[in-house]
Structure 1
C-alpha cells in the first residue's frame, strides 16, 4: 500500500509540475502568434485554446460535461462557478475555450505560474479586502462584457475549505444585470477530491461539470438583488443534490 501511495504521490507531483509547464507553453505560443500577426484577440484565443486543455491533459484530469451546449447558447454572458479547488479556473477555461475574461485575486497578477493566463484572459484582478477596488473591478468586468467578451467569476469569493457550497456575493450578478447579459451556472462536482482546499498538488481523475441553462437578468433590480442571487445559488444546490442528466 505504501508503495502504491508513493507512486501515486510522485505521479501527482510530476503531473502538477508538468501541467503548469504545459499551460504556459500553450499560452506563450498563442500569445506569440498574436504578437507576430499584430492581432491580440487572435493571440489570446489561440493561447486559451491551447493552454487550458494542455494543463488538464498533463495533470491527468478528465472532464465529463452535462449541458455543454449551454456554454454557447448566449454570449457574452457571466459564467458563475462554485469554487472547490485550484483546478476550477482551468476546468472552466478549457470549457469556454475562447472569448472570455475572468476575475482573480491580486496576488495572482504577477505570480509566474499564472501571469500569462492573466494576459491571455485580460483578467481583472481585485483586492477583495478593499471595497473601492472591488467596485473598480466590477467596472472593468463591465467593459469586458461590452467589448463582447464573456466573463467567469466564482461568486463565493474564495475556494471552499470543505468542498461544500458557500454563500454567494452579489458582485458578479450586479455586473450581469448592469450589462444586460444572462448568468450561466457552471456546477463542478468532485474537483475538491482531486485538489482539496489550498492543496498545491493535483491528483489525476475525473471531474463532473454541469452547465445549466442561461438565466435571464431581465427584470432584476437592486431591490431584488438578494432574492435573485439566492435563486441562482439554489440552482447549484439542486444540481449538486440531484445531478442533471443529459437530455437528447
Structure 2
C-alpha cells in the first residue's frame, strides 16, 4: 500500500506541489523583504511563517503541537531542536508561534530571493572565517534577540534522516552562553517521513514538542551537563515512540 500511495502522489508532487512551491516561495520572499523594509523585520517574519504554513498545507503536512504553554512570548530564547529533514524549517517557522531568527552560513546570503529576504527579515549570517568575524556575528545576534525574538539552532549539525539523534555539538551551547539566554528544547517528530534525501516527498503527520526552558545561568561551570540535559529532554518523546536514540560522544 505504501508503494501505491507513493506512486499516486508523484503526479501531484511534480504537477501541482513544485510549481506552487516555487511561485509562492518567490512571492513570500518579496513580501517578507518588502514589509521588513517598509515596516519592521517582525512583520516581514510573519510572511516567512506564512510561507512555511502554506508549504505545509500544500504538501499536506498534518501538525500536532504540544507544550506551547511553556513559552513566554516576552522572553527571548535559544531554541535547540533535533534535525531530521528540511521540513524542520517549515514545522518550526509555521507552527511554533513565536518570532525567531535562524543562524545561517554566510554563503546562504547569496541564495536567490530567499537569501535577500532572510537578510532583510534579520536572520543571522554566521561568519566562521576567523574568530573576530565569528564574534562580530554573535554581537550582531545580541542586538536582534531582544523582547521575545529568539534564535533557532540545530546542535546535531546535520540532518539525521530519521527519528534517531546524533550527538550534540558544543557550538550551540557556547552561543547560548554568549547570548546569555535560556534554552528552549524542542523535539521534532517524523519530519523525515515527509521529506528525505533525493526529494522523496510524501504527505504525513508530524509532531512538535515544546519543553520547559532551561536557565543557562545555572550551568556556566557545567556546560557538558547542560548539553546532556538538553539532549535527554529533546530525546524523551522519541524514546517514548520506541525508536533508537544514539549515545552522545565527546
How far 1:162 moved relative to its partner? 4.5
Where do 1:74-85 residues align within 5 Å?
Answer: 75-85=75-85
TM-score by length of 2: 0.81
Q: 1:206 aligned to 2:208?
A: no
Contact 1:32–1:43 (CA<8 Å) still a contact in 2? Answer: no
**Against the structure 1 CA distance between its residues 10 and 125, is the aligned structure 2 distance closer, same or farther, given a 3 Å change threshold?**
farther
Contact 1:18–1:59 (CA<8 Å) still a contact in 2? Answer: no
The 1-side partners of 2:51 and 2:42 are apart by 14
**Against the structure 1 CA distance between its residues 140 and 158, is the aligned structure 2 distance closer, same or farther, given a 3 Å change threshold?**
farther
In structure 2, the residue matched to 1:11 is 12
* Offset from partner CA, 1:6-30 (integer Å, 9 cap, x none): 3212223342442343243234224
Structure 1: which 5+ runs fail to align?
244-248
Task: Tell me the secondary structure at the aligned position of residue 47 of structure 1.
Answer: helix
Where do 1:217-228 residues align within 5 Å?
Answer: 217-221=216-220, 223-228=221-226
Q: 1:155 aligned to 2:155?
A: yes
**Against the structure 1 CA distance between its residues 143 and 167, is the aligned structure 2 distance closer, same or farther, given a 3 Å change threshold?**
farther
Task: Tell me the secondary structure at the aligned position of residue 167 of structure 1.
Answer: coil
How far 1:226 moved relative to its partner? 1.3
The 2-side partners of 1:219 and 1:47 are apart by 36
TM-score by length of 1: 0.81
In structure 1, the residue matched to 2:34 is 32
The 1-side partners of 2:114 and 2:96 are apart by 18
Where do 1:94-243 residues align within 5 Å?
Answer: 94-97=94-97, 99-112=99-112, 114-119=114-119, 121-126=121-126, 130=129, 132=131, 134-146=134-146, 149-196=149-196, 198-221=197-220, 223-242=221-240
**Against the structure 1 CA distance between its residues 98 and 6, is the aligned structure 2 distance closer, same or farther, given a 3 Å change threshold?**
same
Structure 2: which 5+ runs fail to align?
242-250
In structure 2, the residue matched to 1:92 is 92
Contact 2:75–2:147 (CA<8 Å) still a contact in 1? Answer: no
Contact 2:34–2:44 (CA<8 Å) still a contact in 1? Answer: no
